[in-house]
Structure 1
Amino acid sequence: MLPPQPPAHPPAHRLRPHRPHARLHGLYRLLAPLPCALLLAACAGGLPSTATERGDGPPVTPTLITPELVAEQRAQRLRQGAQDISRFIAPPAPYTIGPGDVLSITVWGHPELAVAQPNAPTSLATPIEQAAAAAAAQGFVVSAQGLLQFPFAGSVKLAGLTEIEARDLLRNRIAHMIQQPNITLRVQSYRSQRIYVDGEVRMPGLQAINDIPMHLVEALNRAGGVLPTGDQSRIAIVRGGASYLVSLPDLVRQGVDPATIQLRHGDAVRVHAADEGKVFVTGEVVAPKALLMHNGRLTLNEAIGEAGGINTVTGDARQVYVVRRAGAVSQVFRLDAESPGAMAIAEHFELTPRDTVYVAQTGLANWHRTLSLLIPGALPSAITAGRQ
């Protein structure tokens, strides 16, 4: 019998040397076909040098935050604030009579010229109707055309006149019937001029303008004051269809008396809520969150600090961005927090409501997350295989 012959081919396990990194090599083969641009973008991290609003708008180039930029924006805010309130600053003016006002007119020595007292209101009249009838019965009502009917004077136009001017006009009109008439005229009920106070105040509603000048502080006090949830730095005054923001803390810091802001008939005052002026901090910070501004003021340094600071492991301090909505487009600002004096600059860079602060991630962290999205679980398994 012949001895057994060796096999023509050795076993497969002898042809293949042991390769503990087989899974890792397989990962490399999977990544090889990926476009280089995608991998380079993953390593780059952060926002690109130019960005678009939704991919179809004009490119937005980030503006580097410098001391010159901080000074320019501060000067711009001061100019804008002064321009907004300049249209409201005026010396107090005396009250002028208007349609609907009820006047009390007394001709001394002639009680027959006084207004006759009305009959008692019926039980069917509502309280509002009773109050209106009582107010009208106490004096002379100026018509919608600004006219007043008075004995011996006929129809007299008093709208637009002060109390003294109206008194002198009536005196001249009845002088042909009464020698040297002594007349006392005053507004009994102020009903022609009103403003509206809304928002975060205790008693929102209509406020009548009377002989006391109606300035901004007076209007807020009559409405019960600003609630703790209100933002005193964002008080909107609507006049003629346009809205203007007024900041009481800024006025005090600039030495401007808020009592010089005079309101007039038809104005609307709205106190915005504090939570309407949030700033959003996201990206590679310790605790991403939405922050409330402190009386309309929050700096970039304060925002990052309240979010716990930049993540030292995954955050790229060279790429701190502020995205600000400006009309139909966005403005993007960038701070290099690793540069000397960067925190001093950030302390003076004022944020505005609805700003978004974004801290970009480092290239290594972005690479790891990109691979995890492309091949879920592949990178951890490959590392584990390499350690075996």
Structure 2
Amino acid sequence: MFFKFFKNISLICFILCSCSNRDTSNMASAQDFILASYKINEGKKEILQMQGLDVDNLSADLLENSSDVIEETDILNIEVYHPKRVDLINSIKSISKENGFAVLDGKIFFPDLGYFEVANLSLKEAKEKIQKRFQDEIKDIEIFISFKEKKPKKVEVAGIVTSEVFIDSKTRIFDILIKVKLPSNANLFKSYILRDNAFLSVDFYKLLKEGDMSQNIYVKNGDKIYIAESSSSKVYVLGEVCRQGYIEIPDGKISLKEAIAKVGGILYTADKSLIQVFRANVQDPKIYHLNWKYITELPNSCLNLIEGDIVYVSSTIISDWNKFITQILPTISLVDSAYRGFKNMGIIIDGG
């Protein structure tokens, strides 16, 4: 409670001090807003980079199917064929039928031939290794090998959906999302995959809404998939509009026109030439100055808002800072990301 109060006081102090000495380095035009919107249209990775995060491209290897390999505790089914050694055929068939060939300490055991190291080999590699060893003793023998029981593999799903999903080498992220019945209110932008504690920049929006199969990576044992709730990303529309407040943006972006429509539109008391977008939750914070007449002539794809943006529709040039403070503080004080962004812009000074 004290921290929120302190943040509010800090914001008030800065705004009052900045009325007469305002830094213009963060001011930006409509053209700048359009250029930023084009960048936003490129997807999640670009938005995260705008926010100052170091995000790598998805490796092409993530889209390559890796064949199952033999692992500890797997049980193999092995059969042999030889034109004369019926005794050997029946002996190995009996072992496979009863218990199978269990992988212990990375090895399987054959009567008379001893142990074979098979850990981390594909079935094809294991077959070739075993067959070569047999052929040193018995000519014209043929080996057939398959999994009788495979060590179970799974991924964990957390967030608004909680589940464990068993997978195989052919399972992709799209398959997982279908199995867990992804809710319609899931925040696709904030959802992510962790593999070995590393973030994979899979764009769930591109995959599910645009059908971009370059995002449909294979999942691996131990992957953690987090499905965020819709309320974890918001933009704020304040000032001379019908219903001031926040709008959830589960897709990571929303057009300025759509955002204003969602709050009931602009009041007749507004000066439509004085629309400002505070973009604070990025590495290079900006305040965009826009004119509604200009906005209405542009397509939505040129007018993107992202998480943490604050749209302020003025009745006049912001000279009545007390009114501005009264309107904006109750909203931004609830959101740490917006607070941090305003601090980055110099709109909040807290002595830290």
Q: TM-score, normalised by structure 2?
A: 0.68
Does residue 74 of structure 1 match 2:31? no
Does residue 158 of structure 1 match 2:123? no
- Residues 152 and 166 of structure 2 are in contact (CA less than 8 Å); yes or no, is this contact kept in structure 1? no
Q: Distance in 2 between matches of 1:40 and 1:172?
A: 82
Deviation at 1:293, TM superposition (A): 2.2
Q: Using a 3 Å threshold, how does the CA distance of structure 1 residues 50 and 168 change in structure 2: closer, same or farther?
A: same
Superposed, 1:49-88 pairs within 5 Å as: 49-50=22-23, 61-66=26-31, 69-75=33-39, 78=42, 81=45, 84-87=57-60
Equivalent residue, structure 2, for 1:336: 290
Does residue 168 of structure 1 match 2:125? no
Superposed, 1:126-205 pairs within 5 Å as: 138-143=99-104, 145-191=105-151, 193-201=153-161, 204-205=163-164
Q: Using a 3 Å threshold, how does the CA distance of structure 1 residues 220 and 61 change in structure 2: closer, same or farther?
A: same
Deviations 1:221-247 (A, max 9, x none): 3x3331223234544121232223433
**Equivalent residue letter for 2:102:** V
Equivalent residue, structure 2, for 1:217: 174
Total equivalences in the alignment: 295
Q: Using a 3 Å threshold, how does the CA distance of structure 1 residues 354 and 152 change in structure 2: closer, same or farther?
A: farther
- Residues 149 and 155 of structure 1 are in contact (CA less than 8 Å); yes or no, is this contact kept in structure 2? yes
1:298 aligned counterpart, secondary structure: strand
- Residues 84 and 246 of structure 1 are in contact (CA less than 8 Å); yes or no, is this contact kept in structure 2? no
Does residue 96 of structure 1 match 2:69? yes
Deviation at 1:255, TM superposition (A): 6.3
1:160 aligned counterpart, secondary structure: coil
Deviation at 1:341, TM superposition (A): 1.9
Equivalent residue, structure 2, for 1:7: none
Bigger radius of gyration: 1
CA RMSD of aligned residues (A): 3.8
Deviation at 1:257, TM superposition (A): 1.8
**Equivalent residue letter for 1:112:** S
Deviations 1:302-339 (A, max 9, x none): 1112112233325664142233313xx6723323225x
Q: Distance in 2 between matches of 1:38 and 1:114?
A: 87
276-285 vs 78-87, greater mean Cα deviation? 78-87
Deviation at 1:299, TM superposition (A): 1.0
Deviations 1:326-368 (A, max 9, x none): 3xx6723323225x52334583222223333233453599389
Q: Percent identity?
A: 19
Residue ranges of structure 1 left out of the alignment (5+ in a row): 1-36, 52-59, 119-136, 373-388
Equivalent residue, structure 1, for 2:223: 267
Equivalent residue, structure 2, for 1:105: 78
Deviation at 1:169, TM superposition (A): 1.1
- Residues 274 and 316 of structure 2 are in contact (CA less than 8 Å); yes or no, is this contact kept in structure 1? no
Q: Distance in 2 between matches of 1:255 and 1:39?
A: 50
**Equivalent residue letter for 2:122:** T
Deviations 1:189-213 (A, max 9, x none): 2216443333344x61142324xx1
- Residues 77 and 100 of structure 2 are in contact (CA less than 8 Å); yes or no, is this contact kept in structure 1? yes
